[in-house]
Amino acid sequence: MLPVDSRQLENVKGEFLKLTKKETMAQRSLDRRAEETEQNNSRLSVMAQSDQKRRAEETEEQQNRRLSDMAQCSQERRTKESRRTKE
């Protein structure tokens, strides 16, 4: 085995600590991202459930009105786009 002086040992310790800190920071970043993803998924799930509940409570007449409004908006948008392309 080769002799190791204290300076070399300190350098190795320093490099090891740098790597350990980088790994710790990277892991924290991954943990944060995973937590954010979990929160976003939870929010989306709540939104989907409330939308599903609203639609379940919606009468057929309300649903037809909502769909008609959506179709009318879509038609108006297409008309505006058509006018722009002709100009």
**Is the Cβ–Cβ distance between 66 and 58 less than 8 Å?**
yes
pLDDT in tens, 11-20: 999 999 999 9
What's the sign of the alpha-carbon dihedral 64, 65, 71, 72?
A: positive
Query: What confidence category does residue 2 fall into, taking pLDDT thresholds of 50, 70 and 90?
Result: low
DSSP-derived secondary structure for 23-67: HHHHHHHHHHHHHHHHHHHHHHHHHHHHHHHHHHHS-HHHHHHHH
pLDDT tens for residues 27-54? Answer: 999 999 999 999 999 999 999 999 899 8
Verdict on whether the full-model pTM lies above 0.85: no
Amino acid found at 13: K
Q: What is the largest CA-CA distance in the chain?
A: 88
What are the residue boundaries of the structural domains of the chain, listed by start?
7-85
